Amino acid sequence: MTFLMVIAMISCSKEDSTEQTAPITQEGGAISGSQIVTVTFDNITLTQFEYQGTIGGIPVNLVQTGEHTLAFYLPNEVLTGAHDLIIPGLSNATVHYDISPTVLTGTADENVVDLFANLNTFAQTLGNDPQAVSAQNAINTLITHYNNASAAEKASIATLYKANKQLFDHLILTDFSDITGRNTVTETKIHINKHVAAIALVGVAALGVAASPVLGCAILAVAGYKAVKANTEALENIYDKTSTIVSGWFSNKNHSSANRTPDIILTDNIAKELTFNIKERKLIASDASKTEPLAVQYFNSISLYNHIVAENNPVIAQTNTEEHTDFDSLPQEALPASNPDVVSPVDDSFMENVQFSVNDPNVSIVTAALSSNGQLNLKLKLNGAPTTLPVRTNLHISYNDGFSSFSGNIPVTVEASLIGTWTLVSFEDGVSLGTYVELFTSPSCPSVATQSYTVLNETLVIGEGTYSFVEQDKYRFYNQSILTSNCSIETDAADTFETYTDTGSGTYVLDGNTFTATSSNDEVTTHTIQFITLNKVKVGDRIYVR
């Protein structure tokens, strides 16, 4: 299997993993002596950094380079033909190989032309940071050593390069620009996959140290540089998300106690714009306890890298002593103990992994969508027959992107909507239509009724910020003469009746339960609104149904 295929499988293997129950037997294809061979077990998550095996009866050490991938070095001219790799620690997993030796064609110098050309190309990308300086030093050390090496050692270096040319060329030249996520491409997933791919390069490079110590140490330094760079970029760009903030309300807080943030009040079936932010922070060491799949994958790759470094730094030191070289040791990867929380506007990538719900039979979500970064367009609808109005409930928000996950509640209040066509059913605090209410209009005798009136009908139409009405009233005039000295009825003629139709329109502002209307001729009146049911409301002293 080529190394490029292994890298592609590393980027997606987490999502494809299933438990292996049957013995493993698979074809490995053709391999060559001096080759660093990778073997991938798609359905097994490896639990050890290293495994012992045999190929053709010869012991080999297999090192983990990914969640499902092992690699081993095959010495040259030891085995030829068909042989099986057997790994007892994986239930005697067996891989069939066809082995041929690696033979140089031409001189050693001719075979390493591409190696040094690629290293030079890579060196042009290096900056002045410590790891870049260390990588440049490794390249210079290799060049100096090779130029002064014996013909036999040059041949050994050339043979290792020829057997692993595709692998080494990729390791030296890749910038991981071809690494993406799987299915849903997120920045977090891309950075993790780049880091995982870089660690795989470190693992296979380390196997070259035993075969050709100086070339192996140089290649390992290049791979180590890329791993540290990938991890630095990951730590700069991956954030652990812990809570949403809707109009100042944190979804991960207990809201039973008093909160100075104003209540979130929505009106039935009317959208409202709310600020929508996310609380997050860069990664810290304690995040290693996270259980989300991407987090496990990331921290496992750090553990694997640190294991490889711990195993190979003594070998690097030994190489420096025996070969009179000056390779630097590789640094361990570590995370800070703390990082500050930051608040950022929610964007489209966050919305791909969030779910909203309301656990209330009288409330349903019509819309919960991002109108722009940091702005949530939320519309809730009242259903059925709520026992009390307004309805106080919770907007449940759950988030899971594979790396961060959380859930929590935001308290919301949903008021009934005035919008619609309303029909009057009573007036004067409970008087039925057609029932007369006496009026006392005499300034001298205010206790004597002089007339009465009733409302025959009224239709009130309320829109978004506008209103209009048509009302028909009937008046009965008593036609009495009142003796003002003692407020007695002096004469009493027959009653007369008049019917009046009144119309009007204007604008209104609803503030809580206060309805302030401004008529078309700029008269301002204020009424108290009280919903009795979703479709029955008291406005001042009048009750309407919708």
pLDDT digits (tens, 9 = 90+) for 188-206: 999 999 999 999 999 999 9
Instruction: Give the tokens for residue 292.
Output: 């989300």
Q: Tell which residue, 91, 85, 84, has the closest CA to residue 20.
A: 91
Is residue 273 located within the same domain as residue 166?
Answer: no
Q: Is residue 6 part of a domain?
A: no
Q: Is residue 204 part of a domain?
A: yes
Number of domains in the chain: 3
Q: What's the CA gap between 478 and 492, in Å, rounded?
A: 7
Is residue 243 located within the same domain as residue 218?
Answer: no
Is residue 39 located within the same domain as residue 79?
Answer: yes
The pLDDT value recorded for residue 255 is 56
Report how far apart, in Å, the C-alpha atoms of 66 and of each of 51, 185, 458 are: 13, 20, 77
542 close to 525: Cβ distance less than 8 angstroms: no
208 close to 220: Cβ distance less than 8 angstroms: yes
Return the residue matching tokens 């207990």.
Answer: 254
Q: Is residue 522 part of a domain?
A: yes
Q: Is the dihedral of CA 207, 60, 77, 56 positive or negative?
A: negative
Q: Where does the pLDDT of residue 17 fall: very low under 50, low under 70, confident under 90, or very high at 90 and above? A: very low
Q: Is the dihedral of CA 340, 344, 349, 350 positive or negative?
A: positive
Assign 258 to helix, strand or coil.
coil
pLDDT (mean) for 74-79: 88
532: Cβ–Cβ under 8 A, 6 or more apart, which residues? Answer: 389, 538, 543
Is residue 457 located within the same domain as residue 512?
Answer: yes
- Helix H, strand E, coil C: the string for 1-52 is CCHHHHHHHHCCHHHHCCCCCCCCEEEEEEEECCCEEEEECCCCCCCCCEEE
Range of the domain at 97: 25-230+283-320
Query: How long a stretch of residues is the chain?
Result: 546
Lowest mean pLDDT among 119-123, 313-317, 441-445, 509-513: 509-513
The pLDDT value recorded for residue 471 is 98
Q: Are strands 391-400 and 431-432 parallel, antiparallel or unpaired?
A: unpaired
Q: What's the CA gap between 282 and 277, in Å, rounded?
A: 16
- Give the chain's count of helices (H) and strands (E): 11, 29
Instruction: Give the tokens for residue 425.
Output: 């059913």
Q: Where does the pLDDT of residue 103 fall: very low under 50, low under 70, confident under 90, or very high at 90 and above? A: very high
Is residue 177 located within the same domain as residue 163?
Answer: yes
Is residue 93 located within the same domain as residue 134?
Answer: yes
Q: What's the CA gap between 466 and 519, in Å, rounded?
A: 10
Domain boundary among 415, 444, 470: 415
Is residue 138 located within the same domain as residue 186?
Answer: yes
Q: Is residue 532 part of a domain?
A: yes
Q: Tell which residue, 238, 267, 246, has the closest CA to residue 408.
A: 246
Q: Is residue 13 part of a domain?
A: no
Instruction: Give the tokens for residue 66.
Output: 């990914």
Is residue 147 located within the same domain as residue 257?
Answer: no
Is residue 269 located within the same domain as residue 159?
Answer: no
Q: Is residue 315 part of a domain?
A: yes
Q: How many CB atoms lie within 10 A of CB 361?
A: 9
Q: What is the residue-averaged pLDDT of the chain?
A: 92
142 close to 215: Cβ distance less than 8 angstroms: yes
9 close to 65: Cβ distance less than 8 angstroms: no
**Tens digit of pLDDT for each residue in 221-269?**
999 999 999 999 999 999 999 999 999 999 887 655 445 578 899 999 9
The pLDDT value recorded for residue 254 is 65
pLDDT (mean) for 359-367: 96
Q: Is residue 17 part of a domain?
A: no
Report how far apart, in Å, the C-alpha atoms of 505 and of each of 258, 459, 469, 521, 523 are: 41, 12, 6, 9, 11
Is residue 438 located within the same domain as residue 427?
Answer: yes
Q: How many CB atoms lie within 10 A of CB 224?
A: 29
Q: How many CB atoms lie within 10 A of CB 420?
A: 13
422 close to 536: Cβ distance less than 8 angstroms: no
Q: What's the CA gap between 97 and 78, in Å, rounded?
A: 14
DSSP tag of 262: P
Lowest mean pLDDT among 21-30, 303-312, 462-471: 21-30
Backbone angles phi, psi at 352, to 5 degrees: -65, -20
Q: Where does the pLDDT of residue 177 fall: very low under 50, low under 70, confident under 90, or very high at 90 and above? A: confident
Asked if pLDDT for residue 13 goes beyond 90, the answer is no
Is residue 198 located within the same domain as residue 261?
Answer: no
Instruction: Give the tokens for residue 306.
Output: 């640190």
Q: Is residue 530 part of a domain?
A: yes
Q: What's the CA gap between 127 and 143, in Å, rounded?
A: 20
The CATH number given to whatever domain includes residue 361 is: 2.60.40
Q: What's the CA gap between 187 and 180, in Å, rounded?
A: 9
Please work out, in degrees rounded to the nearest 5, the angle formed at the alpha carbon of residue 383 by the alpha carbons of 379 and 384.
170
The CATH number given to whatever domain includes residue 527 is: 2.40.128
The pLDDT value recorded for residue 16 is 38
Is residue 303 located within the same domain as residue 387?
Answer: no
Domain boundary among 415, 445, 479: 415
For the chain, the straight-line distance linking the first and the last C-alpha, in angstroms and rounded, comes to: 73
